[in-house]
């Protein structure tokens, strides 16, 4: 019995007659990171979700809801991780899936989508071009699963904070990566529904995929002319409106790191915790290592290890050598 076929028991929100689409992930206190930073660093290990990333939560929830509403086919546009999660969810729910990815999506992510049994279409140079094509495929009884801009996703992603709260650990700061803003919106929703509206969030991005930092500086959503970072999972040229709106009512600090720093952080995480994550996740780990003020003011720091299937250990090593 493989973990890819059967999620662990006890995942919240599942119907008795259908499989769980995400697992309750471990909350681990990292000895090495805690000693290095001089405070307790807690990792929420979303990289251990069966599809490889936190996307299993919100996307699984959305797929289940759309199936209950009568959807006969799921269509998704994705830089990789969302597509894998939709393909995985569709397989377990018995619903056919079509995933459209841009040319920048890694070979590893494409193979994972195919392995889950979905139809894979490669279209366009950017996610926005893939998204336009995906929307053109919609038919009656189809459900479009957006990779980040959907309240159903945010509701599902928020469950990771519910799980943290259930352990009795209240962080003094949360560090996470931001692409289109789906993870950010979900974590913020989770913080507020657990009464943690005072906990600052460090929103990490890489140079060349930093549309959220640009949007915070402008006070409104900003669209980048192009995404030039290797962290292609952060490749939304514009964050969702809700992610920017949250900054008006919650303490959010932008932290932009280099691709090199993100890759180095992935390699350190691999060496110390024996788990491969992609550069998009490495952005949060690199931001943590830069010791922003909100992190250094906290006794307990929560880092969302969002995961990702867009990189292999060999690719990380190659990127590290290029740096």
pLDDT at residue 17, as a whole number: 66
How does pLDDT run across 23-82, given as a tens digit for each residue?
999 999 999 999 999 999 999 999 999 999 999 999 999 999 999 999 999 999 998 899
pLDDT in tens, 261-280: 999 999 999 999 999 999 99
Residue 149 CA: distances (Å) to CA of 8, 105, 140: 28, 19, 21
Confidence grade of residue 18 (pLDDT, cut at 50, 70, 90): confident
| Ranges of each domain in the chain | 27-54+152-322, 55-147
1 pLDDT more than 90:
no
User: Which residue from 255, 238, 256, 304 is spatially nearest to 277, judged by alpha carbons?
Assistant: 304
Q: Average model confidence (pLDDT) for the chain?
A: 92
Mean pLDDT (whole number) for 240-253: 97
Looking at domain 27-54+152-322, which of 3.10.20.600, 3.40.50.1100, 3.40.50.970, 1.10.10.10 is its CATH number?
A: 3.40.50.1100
Strand order in the sheet with 73-77: 119-122, 97-101, 73-77, 142-145
Question: In this predicted structure, what is the pLDDT of residue 232?
Answer: 82
CB 163 within 8 Å of CB 187: no
Q: Burial, 35: exposed, middle or buried (Cβ in 10 Å; 0-12, 13-18, 19+)?
A: exposed
Which of 177, 137, 170 lies closest to 55, judged by CA? 177
pLDDT value, residue 315:
86
Write down the residue that tokens 């279209």 correspond to: 123
Q: Supply the CATH classification number for the domain 55-147.
A: 3.40.50.1100
Backbone angles phi, psi at 216, to 5 degrees: -65, -40
User: pLDDT at position 323, please?
Assistant: 57
Percent of the chain with pLDDT over 90: 81
Give the span between the Cα atoms of 115 and 57, in whole angstroms. Answer: 20
Same fold, 27-54+152-322 and 55-147: yes
Lay out the sheet containing 173-177: strands in order across.
Answer: 27-29, 40-44, 300-304, 173-177, 201-206, 252-257
Say how far apart CA 156 and CA 55 lie, in whole Å.
9
Enumerate residues 6+ apart whose C-beta is below 8 A from 35. Answer: none
DSSP letters, 265-302, are HHHHHHHHH-----HHHHHHHHHHHT--HHHHT-SEEE
Tokens representing residue 227 in the block: 């995404």
**pLDDT of residue 133 exceeding 60:** yes
> In this predicted structure, what is the pLDDT of residue 3?
36
Model confidence at 11, in pLDDT bands (50, 70, 90)? very low
For residue 310, the model assigns a pLDDT of 77
Q: What is the pTM of this model?
A: 0.92
Mind listing the pLDDT tens digit for each residue in 173-190? 999 999 999 999 999 999
Which residues sit opposite 225 in a β-bridge? none
Going by pLDDT thresholds of 50, 70 and 90, the confidence category of residue 13 is very low
Which residue, among 82, 97, 4, has the nearest Cα to 306 in the 3D structure?
A: 82
Higher pLDDT, 227 or 142: 142
Residue 8 has pLDDT above 90, yes or no: no
Closest to 262 measured CA to CA, from 303, 229, 228, 310: 229
Q: Are 294 and 174 in contact (CB under 8 A)?
A: no
């Amino acid at each position: 019995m493989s973990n890819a076929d059967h999620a662990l028991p006890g995942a919240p929100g599942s119907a008795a007659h259908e499989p769980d689409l995400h697992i309750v992930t471990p909350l681990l206190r990292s000895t090495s990171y805690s000693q290095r930073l001089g405070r307790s660093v807690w990792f929420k290990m979303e990289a251990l979700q069966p599809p490889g990333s936190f996307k299993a939560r919100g996307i699984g929830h959305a797929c289940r809801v759309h199936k209950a509403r009568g959807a006969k086919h799921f269509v998704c546009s994705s830089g990789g991780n969302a597509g894998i999660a939709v393909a995985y969810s569709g397989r377990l729910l018995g619903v056919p899936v079509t995933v459209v990815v841009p040319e920048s999506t890694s070979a590893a992510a494409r193979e994972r989508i195919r392995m889950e049994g979905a139809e894979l279409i490669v279209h366009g140079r950017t996610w926005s071009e893939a998204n336009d094509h995906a929307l053109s495929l919609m038919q009656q009884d189809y459900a479009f699963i957006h990779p980040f801009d959907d309240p159903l996703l945010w509701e599902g992603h928020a469950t990771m904070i519910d799980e943290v709260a259930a352990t009795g650990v209240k962080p003094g700061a949360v560090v996470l990566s931001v692409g289109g803003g789906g993870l950010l919106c979900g974590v913020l929703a989770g913080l507020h529904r657990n009464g943690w509206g005072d906990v600052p969030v460090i929103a990490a991005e890489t140079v060349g995929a930093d549309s959220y930092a640009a949007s915070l500086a402008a006070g409104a959503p900003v669209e980048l002319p192009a995404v030039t970072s290797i962290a292609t999972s952060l490749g939304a040229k514009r964050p969702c409106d809700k992610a920017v709106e949250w900054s008006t009512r919650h303490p959010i600090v932008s932290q932009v790191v280099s691709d090199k720093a993100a890759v180095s952080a992935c390699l350190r995480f691999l060496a110390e915790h024996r788990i491969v994550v992609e550069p998009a996740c490495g952005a949060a780990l690199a931001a943590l290592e830069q010791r922003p003020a909100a992190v250094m003011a906290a006794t307990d720091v929560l880092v969302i290890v969002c995961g990702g299937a867009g990189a292999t250990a060999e690719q990380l090593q190659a990127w590290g050598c290029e740096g």
